[in-house]
Amino acid sequence: GQQVMQIPQYQHVQEGEDFTTYCNSSTTLSNIQWYKQRPGGHPVFLIQLVKSGEVKKQKRLTFQFGEAKKNSSLHITATQTTDVGTYFCAGRNYGGATNKLIFGTGTLLAVQP
Partner 1 sequence: GAGVSQTPSNKVTEKGKYVELRCDPISGHTALYWYRQSLGQGPEFLIYFQGTGAADDSGLPNDRFFAVRPEGSVSTLKIQRTERGDSAVYLCASKSQPNTEAFFGQGTRLTVV
Contact positions toward partner 1, by CB under 8 A?
1, 4, 6, 30-31, 33, 35, 41-45, 48, 50, 88, 90, 92, 97-106, 108
**SS percent in the chain: helix, strand, coil, step 5:** 5, 55, 40
Q: Element (H or E) spanning 81, and its range?
A: none
Closer to partner 1 by CB, 58 or 80: give it.
58
Closer to partner 1 by CB, 17 or 96: give it.
96
Cβ 102 to partner 1, closest distance in Å? 6
Greatest CA span in the chain, whole angstroms? Answer: 46
Closer to partner 1 by CB, 95 or 97: give it.
97
